[in-house]
Every structure is written in structure tokens, then in C-alpha cells.
Amino acid sequence: MAFYPEDLPPVPQKPFIDTLSQSDLRKLRAQIDEKLPQSKGNKLKDIDLEEEMVAQLTITKELQDDVLGDPDIPANQKAQVINATASAIQQLVRMQVDLKRDEQLKRMEAALMKAVFFDTYEQLALTEGVEVDG
């Protein structure tokens, strides 16, 4: 009895997207984003800076991996890629520190507003003869 390829059960195929590298997926996403209508304006306030910075870091780290693994790339160019990765990390750290500081300032402002409001309220209430529990 002879076996023919058509007699074999079909081999399940991976979906095309599962075969793509991270780099190819990002390129594909960029092409898709170009084709999709823009729901937001092209203004800085409409950009998720944190998301963009993380995406940039990921791209830089991939480039670093590619460059460091290539023996034909000169050492000075490898150093430039390492410096770019370090810079992206520093920017993310700075962004996190700034965000934490801004959140702390908002909490401090809210606490100050409450303190000023309630202190003023108590003073006004006392001058008007209103009893204030406290």
C-alpha cells in the first residue's frame, strides 16, 4: 500500500499573524494605523505620551539586540544604540517621577483647599453666631 501526501491529514497552520516577529508586527500596526481614520486630533494633548515612550523603548531595545548580535557593526555604533536605550529609560523614569510629583501636588492642593475652606467656614460661622462642633 502506497502513501500519498493527499492521504495524510491536513497539518494545522498557524495564523499568519502568529508567524510575524515583534518588529514586523509593529510595522504592520503602523500600516494599519495609517489606513484607519483618526478619531482624535493631531495635537500633543491627544497623544498618550507614556504609551509612546514605552513603545519607543521597546523599539530601541529590539534595535539594541539586533545591533549587539551583529559582529559586522562597529563598536561605536553599538555604543550609540546602548546610549539611546539608556536615554529612553531615563526619559521613562523622569516621566514617572514627574507624574508622581504631580499627583502628590494635586493631593496637597486638595488638602490645602479643605483646610482653608473649613478654617474660613469656622471663622464665619462663629462671627454669625453659628455653633461649630469640632
Q: For residue range 80-98, what is the model confidence (pLDDT) as tens digits? A: 999 999 998 998 899 889 9
Instruction: For residue 82, count CB atoms less than 10 angstroms from its CB and return exposed for 0-12, middle for 13-18, buried for 19 or more.
Output: middle
Q: What is the pLDDT of residues 12-52, one digit of tens each?
A: 788 888 888 888 888 888 888 888 776 555 677 777 888 88
Name the grid cell of 59: 523599539
Give the residue carrying C-alpha cell 519607543.
56
Residue type, 63: L
pTM for the structure as a whole: 0.52
Are the beta carbons of 49 and 102 closer than 8 angstroms?
no
